[in-house]
């Protein structure tokens, strides 16, 4: 990641800093795991693509169910989804990945990256199918892995792994 | 040939994969042909619905998921030690590399160092597995374009016979021809037996010789050329957008190989020559795989000469299911599998640290198959078979 | 062979006065047994295979057909269409999405037909058996003649399985076949919710339901969806009768939590 890219990312994310926190500087930009608000998801991907991260790697959605407060964990976060996107720059000799995370409320959709990367088509369909995260603007968001008439999203934490499916199991 | 020949770098007009078929010519008599989940093309259970105007395909819609075994859900219930044999079955033609991808993610999350001998052995095993996997790919592609009873089958027999030599070596090392379960967090479980390196060198040299014979038979064959030259040209920008970096991307001009560009194991100590093409058609993909096979043979032969001494695992041997504990962390690790970038995105911290919270496998074959709605329209069915064969998808990792 | 024709009223018992006359001719029974032996030998040594190869066992199946352990020398070639095949070799995991297709293809095979379950995924679902999308063994919807264990079985084991099938065919045609013995069950084994097709305590309504599902395969599952609206109560009643958990049928349905549905 070049210093220009880091500065550009910091400039993009700075206006959305939470109140009371210091705005992001170029040194705070890391290649893995930055939290990005959902509204800046596509803008960040565009910026990265313009700076050489042109290979779409993957998108990973996970479900974090709301837990009850316990002694060990008195203030657990409410139910949310986390979507991580990974891009790679195919530079000869020095290829790196960049990945960031977006936190979504249940039912909140995330903008699709299909306009920038054709590979987002199937990856986002798969995450919709398995985890249930909606991608706004996706041309054809339907199930990929499960049969079309399947109910439920299997990779959610409250979905039983041995759910029966009459008449085959 | 007069006129400009289209290739991966020139502007090739691509069909819209989400085109509504009613917008196509209303006078045309369209036929729906279902290349169903069971078909003789040996690439697993995968369905393509072809909408055809006569012999020419107008739209292709693909439906994966016939082998969805819920592996990612299963891994949320298993411990780290139990995951390696599960992940073997994803890309079942190159299981060594699957295991390496997953164990490297665990090692990155645990920040454990792998001893040099183990990394050296891992490199040798990865290269030998790459040879075996490419032999399957080359054999089945020739089977597809040559016919199952006839010319294609003879090349298939030759490549599988050579692959048996490598599988014998793996059986001697790990006990299984397939699904080895030989990698573990921190290194290897099985050490190289005495004399194995010598036998491996002999076997790989034999394969190297036989590859010459096989190549001469195939590449000059006019039927092979007719069926593969200029068929299924994948433009470079689409390969990048779809995330294709393996042989398919390299045949389309994406000069990326994780062994050279983001080295792991012992790849930073050796030179990896990466073949690329700009034509982007089936022949280019075939040639890239063929040249990669030769390169992998050369690397493996060079590395088998000087295996360093030392321990093969930096942690104590795994003797119970719960012996690896990773409190928390998130990592992404990508390795170069024979099909492209095989990645593991690990969110650790589930099951009290004994297992992953979410483990996503980034399968290169899924991206390879998503090329189909772009490449198939405008071709005949016979070209469709050739294109599907040249993409070399493995449904075990597409569907997981 | 198929269980369906045991009670099937459509089975025809073949009688013909010419056959009765032939059987009364002295010495003809010797010729008939010799011809019968010839037919048995021909039948068991020319088993054309239908490869239902879904996953890793499919690669081992291909390797068995390749040069080292050659199945072609047993007279078995791989045919891509079920209409020309005698043996269906199910090699690999069968998922819920694939199962109706397998059943349909099995029904499309003409008699006499046999089935080989290759690999532990086809026998019992392997370690995937408790997963939402995997059928725990193909013998829940089709009768299996030979089980070949392994993950995956070696090519030699597959060859041995084929030879066992040949022995079984000879024994069946000679009339010396002893009915299938129950597989030994261990105490820790997970019993699947749907019993094997030949188990006495299997629900008799299950096979017609499976047959219906495979027959109603449309291109986009529209028939499934229509049937499901009426059939969901039936499915839940069945699940309750088998003591299967019914709340999981409602879990995560479009994001609605389970407690709100009543």
Cβ contact, residue pair A119, B370, below 8 Å:
yes
Of all residues in chain B, the one with the smallest CA distance to A158 is: B73
Q: Does B194 share its domain with B48?
A: no
Residues of chain C contacting B398 with CB distance shorter than 8 Å: none
Q: Where are the domains of chain A?
A: 3-67+78-136
What are the residues whose beta carbons fall under 8 Å from the beta carbon of B10, sequence distance 6 or more? B4, B235
C250 has pLDDT over 70: no
Question: What ipTM score was computed for the predicted complex, to two decimals?
Answer: 0.90
Domain boundary pick from B63, B96, B113:
B63
What are the residues whose beta carbons fall under 8 Å from the beta carbon of C31, sequence distance 6 or more? none
Of all residues in chain B, the one with the smallest CA distance to A140 is: B18
pLDDT classification of C232: cutoffs 50, 70, 90: low
Kindly state the helix (H) or strand (E) to which residue B340 belongs, with its residue range.
Answer: strand B340-350
> Can you give the pTM of this predicted structure?
0.86
Instruction: Identify the CA nearest to A29 among candidates A49, A58, A47, A7.
Output: A7
Quick one: pLDDT at residue B212? 85
Q: Does B45 share its domain with B176?
A: no
Residue B50 included in any domain: yes
Quick one: pLDDT at residue A20? 65
Q: Does B51 share its domain with B97?
A: no
Residue B281 included in any domain: yes
Quick one: pLDDT at residue A119? 87
Block mean pLDDT (10 aa), chain B, length 400:
59 73 73 82 81 87 89 90 89 92 91 90 94 92 78 83 92 90 88 90 92 84 85 88 89 90 88 89 92 93 89 78 80 92 89 87 91 88 88 89
Cβ contact, residue pair B74, C62, below 8 Å:
no
B66: contact with A, CB 8 A cutoff: no
Quick one: pLDDT at residue C153? 92
Q: Does B97 share its domain with B55?
A: no
pLDDT classification of C91: cutoffs 50, 70, 90: very high
Q: What is the pLDDT of residues C169-202, one digit of tens each?
A: 888 888 787 776 666 677 877 777 788 887 777 8
Domain boundary pick from B63, B97, B114:
B63
Cβ contact, residue pair C101, B38, below 8 Å:
yes
Domain boundary pick from B32, B63, B94:
B63
Cβ contact, residue pair B156, C66, below 8 Å:
yes
Share of chain A above pLDDT 70, in %: 96
Number of domains in chain B: 2
Quick one: pLDDT at residue C5? 47
Cβ contact, residue pair C67, B40, below 8 Å:
no
How near does any CA of chain A get to the CA of C38, in Å?
Answer: 40
Residue B399 included in any domain: no
The per-residue pLDDT of chain A, averaged, comes to: 85
How many Cβ contacts (< 8 angstroms) between chains A and C?
Answer: 90
Cβ contact, residue pair A154, C96, below 8 Å:
no
d(CA C195, CA B92): 30
d(CA C93, CA C128): 8
Q: Cα(first)–Cα(last) distance of chain C, in Å? A: 46
Which residue's entry shows tokens 């502007």?
B11
Q: Does B161 share its domain with B298?
A: yes
Residues of chain A contacting C220 with CB distance shorter than 8 Å: 148
Cis amide leading into A167 (omega within 30): yes
pLDDT classification of C69: cutoffs 50, 70, 90: confident
d(CA C159, CA B233): 41
A9 has pLDDT over 50: yes
Quick one: pLDDT at residue C158? 92
Residue B207 included in any domain: yes
pLDDT classification of C247: cutoffs 50, 70, 90: very low
Q: Does B16 share its domain with B82?
A: no
Cβ contact, residue pair B245, A144, below 8 Å:
no
Residues of chain A contacting C203 with CB distance shorter than 8 Å: none
C4 has pLDDT over 90: no
Q: Does B184 share its domain with B47?
A: no
d(CA A126, CA B199): 44
Quick one: pLDDT at residue C219? 42
CB atoms within 10 A of CB B215: 16
State the greatest distance between any 2 C-alpha atoms of chain B, in Å, as a whole number: 73
* DSSP secondary structure letters along chain C: --SGGGS-TTPPPP--HHHHHHHHSTTHHHHHHHHHHHHHHHHHT---EEEEE-SHHHHHHHHHHSSSS-GGGGT--B-SSGGG-SEEEEES--BTTTHHHHHHHHHHSPSS-EEEEESHHHHH-GGGTTSTTB-S-GGGTS--SEEE-SSSPPHHHHHHHHHHHHHHHHHHHHT-PPPPPPPP--TTPPPPSS--TT-TTS-TTHHHHHHHHHHT--SSSHHHHHHHHHHHHHHHHHHHHTT--SGGGTTTBTTB-GGG--
Q: Which 8-state DSSP code applies to residue B266?
A: T
CATH number of the domain that residue B183 is part of: 1.10.645.10
| Strand spans (E) along chain A | 32-35, 55-64, 80-88, 97-104, 110-111, 135-136
- Between these two residues, C261 and A127, which has the higher pLDDT value? A127
Quick one: pLDDT at residue C255? 32
Cβ contact, residue pair C209, A167, below 8 Å:
yes
Quick one: pLDDT at residue C223? 40
B245: contact with A, CB 8 A cutoff: yes
Residues of chain C contacting B156 with CB distance shorter than 8 Å: 66
Cβ contact, residue pair C55, B38, below 8 Å:
no
C227 has pLDDT over 80: no
Cβ contact, residue pair C59, B34, below 8 Å:
no
- Domain, as residue range, for B38: 4-63
Of all residues in chain B, the one with the smallest CA distance to A131 is: B73
Q: Does B55 share its domain with B202?
A: no
How near does any CA of chain C get to the CA of B279, in Å?
Answer: 30
Residues of chain B contacting C56 with CB distance shorter than 8 Å: 89, 92, 178-179, 396
Of all residues in chain B, the one with the smallest CA distance to C128 is: B69
Cβ contact, residue pair C252, A164, below 8 Å:
no
Q: Does B289 share its domain with B167?
A: yes
Name the residue facing B68 among C80, C97, C127 (closest C-beta).
Answer: C97
Q: Does B42 share its domain with B78?
A: no
Share of chain A above pLDDT 90, in %: 15
Cβ contact, residue pair B65, A146, below 8 Å:
yes
Quick one: pLDDT at residue C240? 59
Most confident listed range (B139-153, C65-79, C148-162): C148-162
- What mean pLDDT comes out for the span C229-238? 57
Quick one: pLDDT at residue B1? 36
Q: Does B160 share its domain with B52?
A: no
Residues of chain A contacting B261 with CB distance shorter than 8 Å: 90-95
Residue B396 included in any domain: no
Cβ contact, residue pair A122, B366, below 8 Å:
yes
Residue B398 included in any domain: no
- Between these two residues, C6 and B359, which has the higher pLDDT value? B359
B99: contact with A, CB 8 A cutoff: no
Of all residues in chain A, the one with the smallest CA distance to B347 is: A62
d(CA C250, CA C257): 9
How many Cβ contacts (< 8 angstroms) between chains B and C?
Answer: 94
Residues of chain C contacting B157 with CB distance shorter than 8 Å: 66-67
Cβ contact, residue pair C253, A132, below 8 Å:
no
What does CATH list as the number for A3-67+78-136?
Answer: 3.30.460.80
Does residue A62 sit in helix, strand or coil? strand
Quick one: pLDDT at residue C11? 57
Instruction: Identify the CA nearest to B185 among candidates B312, B88, B73.
Output: B312
Task: Check if the beta carbon of residue C76 is closer than 8 Å to that of residue C162.
Answer: yes
Edge-to-edge order in the sheet of strand C114-118: C49-53, C87-91, C114-118, C146-148
Quick one: pLDDT at residue A150? 84
């Amino acid at each position: 990641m070049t210093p220009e890219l880091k500065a550009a990312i910091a400039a993009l994310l700075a206006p959305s800093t939470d109140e009371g926190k210091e705005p992001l500087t170029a040194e705070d930009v890391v290649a893995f795991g930055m939290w990005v608000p959902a509204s800046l998801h596509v803008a960040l991907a565009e910026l990265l693509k313009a700076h050489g991260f042109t290979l779409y790697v993957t998108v990973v959605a996970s479900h974090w169910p709301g837990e009850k407060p316990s002694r060990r964990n008195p203030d657990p976060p409410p139910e949310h989804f986390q979507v991580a996107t990974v891009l790679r720059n195919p530079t000869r000799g020095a290829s790196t990945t960049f990945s960031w995370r977006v936190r979504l409320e249940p039912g909140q959709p995330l903008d699709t990256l299909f306009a920038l990367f054709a590979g987002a088509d199937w990856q986002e369909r798969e995450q919709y199918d398995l985890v249930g995260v909606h991608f706004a603007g996706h041309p054809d968001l339907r199930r990929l892995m499960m049969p079309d008439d399947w109910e439920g999203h299997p990779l959610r934490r409250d979905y039983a792994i041995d759910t029966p499916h009459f008449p085959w199991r | 040939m007069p006129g400009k020949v289209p290739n991966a770098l020139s502007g090739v007009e691509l069909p819209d994969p989400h085109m509504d078929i009613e917008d196509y010519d209303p006078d045309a008599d369209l036929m729906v042909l279902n290349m169903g989940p069971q078909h003789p093309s040996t690439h697993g259970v995968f369905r393509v619905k072809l909408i055809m105007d006569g012999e020419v395909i107008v739209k292709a819609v693909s439906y994966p998921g016939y082998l969805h075994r819920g592996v990612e859900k299963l891994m949320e219930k298993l411990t780290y030690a139990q995951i390696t044999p599960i992940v073997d079955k994803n890309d079942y033609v190159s299981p060594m590399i699957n295991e390496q991808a997953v164990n490297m993610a665990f090692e990155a999350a645990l920040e454990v160092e792998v001893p040099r001998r183990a990394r050296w052995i891992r490199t040798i095993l990865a290269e030998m597995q790459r040879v075996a996997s490419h032999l399957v790919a080359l054999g089945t592609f020739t089977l597809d374009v040559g016919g199952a009873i006839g010319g294609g089958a003879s090349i298939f027999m030759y490549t599988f016979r050579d692959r048996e030599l490598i599988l014998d070596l793996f059986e001697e090392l790990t006990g299984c021809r397939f699904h080895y379960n030989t990698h573990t967090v921190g290194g290897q479980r099985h050490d190289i037996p005495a004399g194995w390196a010598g036998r491996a060198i002999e076997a790989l040299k034999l394969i190297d010789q036989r590859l010459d014979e096989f190549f001469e038979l195939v590449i000059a064959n006019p039927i092979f050329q007719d069926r593969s030259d200029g068929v299924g040209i994948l433009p470079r920008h689409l390969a990048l957008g779809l995330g294709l970096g393996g042989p398919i991307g390299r045949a389309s001009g994406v000069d990326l190989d994780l062994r050279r560009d983001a080295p792991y194991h012992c790849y930073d100590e050796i030179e990896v020559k990466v073949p690329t093409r700009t034509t982007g058609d089936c022949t280019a993909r075939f040639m890239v795989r063929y040249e990669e096979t030769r390169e992998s043979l050369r690397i493996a032969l060079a590395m088998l000469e000087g295996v360093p001494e030392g321990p093969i695992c930096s942690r104590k041997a795994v003797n119970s299911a719960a012996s690896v504990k990773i409190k928390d962390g998130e990592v992404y690790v990508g390795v170069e599998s024979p099909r492209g970038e095989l990645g593991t995105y690990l969110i650790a911290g589930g099951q009290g640290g004994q297992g992953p919270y979410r483990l996503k496998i980034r399968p290169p074959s899924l991206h390879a198959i998503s090329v189909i709605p772009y490449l198939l329209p405008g071709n005949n069915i016979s070209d469709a078979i050739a294109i599907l064969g040249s993409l070399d998808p493995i449904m075990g990792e597409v569907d997981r | 062979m198929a269980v369906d024709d045991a009670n099937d009223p459509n089975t025809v018992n073949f009688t013909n006065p010419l056959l009765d006359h032939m059987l009364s001719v002295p010495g003809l029974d010797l010729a008939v047994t010799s011809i019968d032996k010839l037919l048995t030998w021909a039948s068991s040594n020319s088993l054309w295979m239908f490869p239902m190869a879904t996953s890793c066992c499919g690669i081992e199946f291909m390797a068995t057909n390749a040069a080292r352990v050659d199945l072609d020398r047993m007279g078995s070639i791989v045919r891509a269409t079920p209409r020309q095949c005698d043996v269906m070799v199910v090699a690999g995991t069968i998922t819920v999405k694939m199962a109706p297709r397998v059943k349909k293809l099995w029904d499309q095979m003409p008699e006499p037909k046999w089935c080989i379950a290759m690999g532990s995924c086809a026998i019992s679902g392997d370690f995937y058996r408790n997963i939402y999308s995997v059928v725990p063994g193909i013998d829940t919807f089709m009768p299996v003649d030979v089980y070949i264990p392994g993950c995956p079985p070696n090519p030699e084991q597959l060859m041995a399985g084929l030879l066992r099938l040949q022995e079984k065919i000879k024994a069946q045609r000679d009339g010396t076949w002893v009915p299938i013995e129950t597989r030994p069950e261990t105490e820790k084994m997970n019993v699947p919710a749907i019993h094997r097709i030949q188990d006495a305590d299997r629900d008799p309504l299950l096979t017609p339901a499976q047959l219906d599902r495979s027959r109603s395969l449309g291109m986009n599952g529209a028939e499934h969806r229509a049937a499901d609206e009426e059939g969901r109560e039936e499915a839940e009643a069945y699940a309750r009768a088998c003591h299967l958990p019914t709340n999981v049928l409602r879990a995560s349905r479009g994001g609605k939590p389970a407690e709100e549905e009543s």
